[in-house]
Amino acid sequence: MGAVPSTPRHTSTTAEAAEYLIGTFVGEKSFPLASDFWQKLLELPLTLRWSSYRVQQACELFAQNNHHTRHLAKILIHLSWCLQEAVRTSGAPSVVYLKAINAVYFSSVFLKYIIENSQSDNIEELCLSLLENEPVPKDFMTDQRIENLLMHNVLTFLGSIDVSPTTSLLHQELLNFMLVAMSTQLLSGPTPGPKDVNPFLDAAMSQESLLVSSVVHRLLLNYIMRPRLPSSTAASYSIFFEENQPGVLQRVGSAAANFVLLPFNYLVNSNSEGSRNQLADCSLHVLLVLIHYHKCVVSDESITDRSDDSASTDPVSKVNTYFTVNPYSKALENARDIEFDRADIEGNAQNGPVVRLPFASLFDTLGMCLADETAVLLLYSLVQGNSDFLEYVLVRTDLDTLLMPILETLYSASRRTSNQIYMLLIILLILSQDSSFNASIHKMILPGVPWYKEHLLHQTSLGSLMVIILIRTVQYNLSKLRDVYLHTTCLATLANMAPHVHRLSAYASQRLVSLFYMLSRKYNKLVELRDDKLQTKAISTGDGLVEDMSAELQIYTDFLRIFLEILNAILTYALPRNPEVVYAIMHRQEVFQPFKSHPRFAELLENIYNVLDFFNSRMDAQRMDGEWSVEKVLLFIINNCRSWRGEGMKMFTQLHFSYEQESHPEEFFIPYVWQLVLSRCGFSFNADAITLFPVDMHANKEIYYDEMNTNQNGELNEQRVQFDP
């Protein structure tokens, strides 16, 4: 029962004792839960420097022996007990945290190796149970699932123990462990199915609502407050020891950390972004994995076939699949502002625990971090799912805090992933659904936009800048991505904004008309190509190429109609407030001429020509001394806008586009979240084992330099290899 390997008497150094205990841990001999061996292993300061080859050997040996030693299950149980003790004795002595850190580190190393090298669909190599004849302590319930015990205690510590200089390292290691434990998702296909095996994620989903809320609260607070690990902790675990005695797991040598590829990035000083914070980033990664997890389960319903009354009634099995409710997603959706709880005021308090957050701090943090794609995904999750946070954003008077980094990112679309562009555009579309948002962004004047290089933007409204960037994004998409969904989202946002446009700048107005010209050129080119193919009889009319061309032509016909409806909305509802738009239309009025008789566009163009006729006739009637200059034409338009009454304008139904998430969003978000996690947290994974998304190691791995960070001698300070999704 209490068997323990005796440390050889000639072994006098800690390193040798550690070598012996780790060798025993991965070896063939099984030690009971109550053995003193576990205490010796977890309390031993360790200064080993193992090569990656030795770590590889240790992991292989451990995996071979785990099925009969069950040491993975046992160290996970000991980790649970260490965390229970740490929670029970909050402000505990250093040895309690030391044991917990060692337990979670050992667990992470060997758990990750087994997951990514699993040969079975059910990850049977984990062996998350004890053998039937295994002796256990009296207070240990043999019927409890180890993954449930473990996740309950991990989440309890994360949710109930504040981050402090004493506890921050254990918080970081537990977040790393969470990512390791949840990485079983990488072994599943892109579409969640009932056969997917995610024991630790499923265990996390089964926790009571109070614990779930506390975890979501803590992860978001970590992200908002961005606590930093003490510098002494980053170098060693010396805070747990006297003087400068090296702490346990000086990474079993840094080679071990490199081999197991865990995110120990706090050992590296990343100076690429001032807003980067290891604990905050890791908290966000864990939160994103949790809130986007969807478990697919099978529901068996027996029905009776009564199609033939004379026949015996035999039950027929009907199999249905459905997704269980994600409690973490629900907790995020129901989060409330700590400064103002509308539910309490209205007397409709929420049932169950509610996550209360400082929305002001969350808003500011997101504005600071939106250059990072994970922050964009969090903002999307909040504005799409949490109506209270969306309402809070819409009433802020400093919308530029969020919009400026969004627009700057869209401006540099060529250096961003298509998924990031989609998320940002959807966020803008959601915001544009609110009329007060559309009105307020035109009231905020920006003194300058230094990152916009094509044109000097001085004293431009935030609304005008948003129009400019959306048009630029469409133009970029026309030449590079050619994605219909991206076009549609941009035009839908512009359509929502159109009736509320106020004093659109000259440059934005010019770009607006230029966009129509670009779309019309694409449309005309498609018409010519289609007609040429049909006239020359080079291919039959039923050929797939002609059909594809006709389908694309229909898409661009729809785009042109939406654009003309956008112009109509501005001219119908906001013409007196937008003389620059009138000027731009008059200046390029020839671009509309080819479409006057088009059956899809004629009625919309009637309104545009009604406006043109109004101003052209008055301009022709006015005598001028000399040439019409730009300033004189604009002044003429401004003066005549006062007499515009809109006579003869046809009123069309005002366009209003809203965003609706697809019926199975998990098929997009689960692979997307893991691509982001792998690209940012340093948590790499055996590419051959990943089936969640396609991995092309040659195409998707790249070496890049953080802002080409060089020292005074021109030498590179930091080089990182990252997985680019």
Q: Please give the Cα distance from 86 to 98 (Å, whole number).
A: 10
673 backbone dihedrals φ, ψ, rounded to 5°? -60, -45
| Residue 571 one-letter amino acid | L
Q: What is the DSSP string of 157-215?
A: HHHHSPP-TTTHHHHHHHHHHHHHHHGGGGGS-SS--TT---HHHHHHHTS-HHHHHHH
Q: Please give the Cα distance from 335 to 363 (Å, whole number).
A: 14
Helix axis angle, 484-497 relative to 544-573, nearest 10°? 10
Cβ distance 263 to 281 under 8 Å? no
Q: Please give the Cα distance from 486 to 420 (Å, whole number).
A: 11
Cβ neighbors of 643 (< 8 A, separation 6 or more) are none
Cβ distance 653 to 706 under 8 Å? no
Cβ distance 684 to 701 under 8 Å? no
Residue 21 in domain: yes
H-state helical runs in 46-93: 52-69, 71-88
Residue 120 in domain: yes
Q: Please give the Cα distance from 150 to 458 (Å, whole number).
A: 58
Q: Please give the Cα distance from 669 to 676 (Å, whole number).
A: 10
Cβ distance 659 to 426 under 8 Å? yes
Q: Please give the Cα distance from 78 to 92 (Å, whole number).
A: 17
| Residue 689 one-letter amino acid | A
- The residue written with tokens 């193919």 in the block is 533
3-state secondary structure of 228: coil
pLDDT at 543: 57
| Nearest Cα to Cα of residue 494 among 569, 424, 549, 558 | 569
| Nearest Cα to Cα of residue 553 among 583, 522, 581 | 522
Cα 552–chain centre separation: 31
**End-to-end alpha carbon distance in the chain:** 50
Residue 140 in domain: yes
702 class by beta-carbon count within 10 Å (0-12 exposed, 13-18 middle, 19+ buried): exposed
663 class by beta-carbon count within 10 Å (0-12 exposed, 13-18 middle, 19+ buried): exposed
User: Which residues in the chain show pLDDT less than 50?
Assistant: 1-12, 232-274, 302-313, 316-317, 343, 345-348, 538-539, 541, 698-725
Residue 540 in domain: no
Cβ distance 718 to 706 under 8 Å? yes
Alpha-carbon distances of 158 from 177, 320, 391, rounded to whole Å: 12, 36, 29
Cβ distance 41 to 25 under 8 Å? yes
3-state secondary structure of 327: helix
Structure tokens at 134: 């295994």
703 forms beta bridges with: 721
Q: For 173-177, which contacts have Cβ atoms below 8 Å and span 24 or more sequence positions?
A: 173/101, 173/104, 173/105, 173/108, 174/104, 175/279, 175/282, 175/283, 175/285, 175/286, 176/104, 176/108, 176/262, 176/263, 176/264, 176/282, 176/683, 177/104, 177/107, 177/108, 177/111
| Residue 291 one-letter amino acid | I
Structure tokens at 501: 């446009």
Please give the angle made by the CA atoms of 359, 365 and 366, to the nearest 5 degrees: 90
The helix (H) or strand (E) run that includes residue 400 is helix 400-411
| Residue 122 one-letter amino acid | N
H-state helical runs in 622-665: 630-641
The helix (H) or strand (E) run that includes residue 377 is helix 373-385
Q: Please give the Cα distance from 657 to 660 (Å, whole number).
A: 10
Cβ distance 264 to 196 under 8 Å? no
Question: Could you list the residue range(s) of the whole structural domain that residue 20 is in?
Answer: 14-239+276-298
Residue 665 in domain: no
Residue 414 in domain: no
Q: Please give the Cα distance from 107 to 144 (Å, whole number).
A: 19
Q: For 90-93, which contacts have Cβ atoms below 8 Å and span 24 or more sequence positions?
A: 90/161, 91/166
Rg (CA), the chain: 32
Residue 322 is classified by DSSP as E
Residue 654 in domain: no
Cβ neighbors of 376 (< 8 A, separation 6 or more) are 370, 409, 420, 423, 424, 427
Residue 101 in domain: yes
3-state secondary structure of 390: helix
| Residue 682 one-letter amino acid | G
| Nearest Cα to Cα of residue 239 among 97, 103, 102, 108 | 97
Count the domains in the chain: 1
Q: What is the pLDDT of residues 369-419, one digit of tens each?
A: 999 999 999 999 999 999 999 999 999 999 999 999 999 999 998 889 889
